[in-house]
Structure 1
Amino acid sequence: MSKQPIQHFKHARFLAWVTLLCASSVVAQTANYGAINVAPGFEPSSAIATGSTAGSYSLFSIANRDRDNNFCIGYSTSATPDHVLTLQKDFPHLKLELRSGRTSTTLVVKGPNGVIRCGIGSIDDKNWKAGEYQIWVGSKDEGVRGNYTLLIRE
């Protein structure tokens, strides 16, 4: 029996694995309004993002409860995260705050190892691990449209 077919099979499996990893990386970094990349001691002005929500996609379908067993509520524009936050190192504390005028806004944040955080208007929490966080911004009530500014602070 020749070793050549086995070698081709191994190479094909390797190429399939590399292709999958590359595709996953691109999908994970896709966001409706872009990415934010921070390290401890970041300038507050470097961690501001803006966007809008149309209030039609249920955030409950992304995550029904967070790590503290709180319900995740609100309606976002789509299943695609609005922002991707990359933390270069662990943070002992972070606050994500939405400013949206009269629109009542909500947040769902999905982090490394599937850790979920949810909040109405803001999330102020401890023990943020280095890695990538997908952020969805929603309106509290379905069908409500509004613009927002997302501020991230240590």
Structure 2
Amino acid sequence: MLQFLSKSYRSLALAAFVLLGSLPALAQTALFDNLVLPAELPNEAPSAEGFTAGFYSLANIVSRDSDGNFCLGFADSTPDHILVLEQDLAELTLQVDSGGQATTLLVQGPDDNTIRCASGTRRQPDAVLQDTDWLAGSYRVWVGAFEQGNRYDYVLTARP
């Protein structure tokens, strides 16, 4: 079929094919439960459970976030959770509790251009992401393991 298209249209068709092939990493579904922060903030911080076990390098989404932090770790290409903010938030903290395993976070904002990443440290192996200026909308959240294929059960908590 491509032989009937002009060279420029073949290039465009090939580019579209390549782009569509990368879409699973940007899917709007998630492997585990969503986290929803309603307009009327709850007394208790919402949380969701899941587990790490991926072989997909989060650096394939982006190597550095909007602040220049490295996006490390391995997860599934499909996001683990969808974080829904029903209002703009001045501050938000996402915290992984895996019992002290080396975890990472990658959060892709509603505009797809806003990326936030965090990884644990030697003193605090579980990833904690604290940031400001969160716009209302849906965010894709990946919880990764620092090493490829490691499976850790975790609880992800969102605290405004």
Choose 1 or 2 for highest CA Rg. 1
CA RMSD for the aligned pairs? Answer: 1.8
Provide the secondary structure at the position in 1 that maps to 2:141. strand
Query: Structure 1 residue 45: deviation in Å?
Result: 3.6
28 and 75 in structure 1: CA distance in 2 versus 1, 3 angstrom threshold: closer
Kindly indicate whether the alpha-carbon contact (under 8 Å) linking 1:103 and 1:146 is maintained by their aligned counterparts in 2.
yes
Normalised to the residue count of structure 2, the TM-score between the two structures is 0.74
Normalised to the residue count of structure 1, the TM-score between the two structures is 0.77
Matches of 1:46 and 1:102, distance apart in 2: 20
* TM superposition outliers: structure 1 runs of 4+ over 3 Å: none
User: Would you say 1:98 and 2:96 are equivalent positions?
Assistant: yes
Kindly indicate whether the alpha-carbon contact (under 8 Å) linking 1:73 and 1:106 is maintained by their aligned counterparts in 2.
yes
Query: Structure 1 residue 36: deviation in Å?
Result: 1.8
Kindly indicate whether the alpha-carbon contact (under 8 Å) linking 2:45 and 2:157 is maintained by their aligned counterparts in 1.
no
Contiguous gaps of at least 5 residues in structure 1: 1-26
Alignment-derived partner of residue 138 in structure 2 = 132
User: Would you say 1:71 and 2:70 are equivalent positions?
Assistant: yes
Matches of 1:103 and 1:66, distance apart in 2: 22
Alignment-derived partner of residue 86 in structure 1 = 84
Q: Which amino acid aligns with 1:106?
A: T
Kindly indicate whether the alpha-carbon contact (under 8 Å) linking 1:44 and 1:153 is maintained by their aligned counterparts in 2.
no
64 and 44 in structure 1: CA distance in 2 versus 1, 3 angstrom threshold: farther
Give the total of aligned pairs. 128
Alignment-derived partner of residue 49 in structure 1 = 48
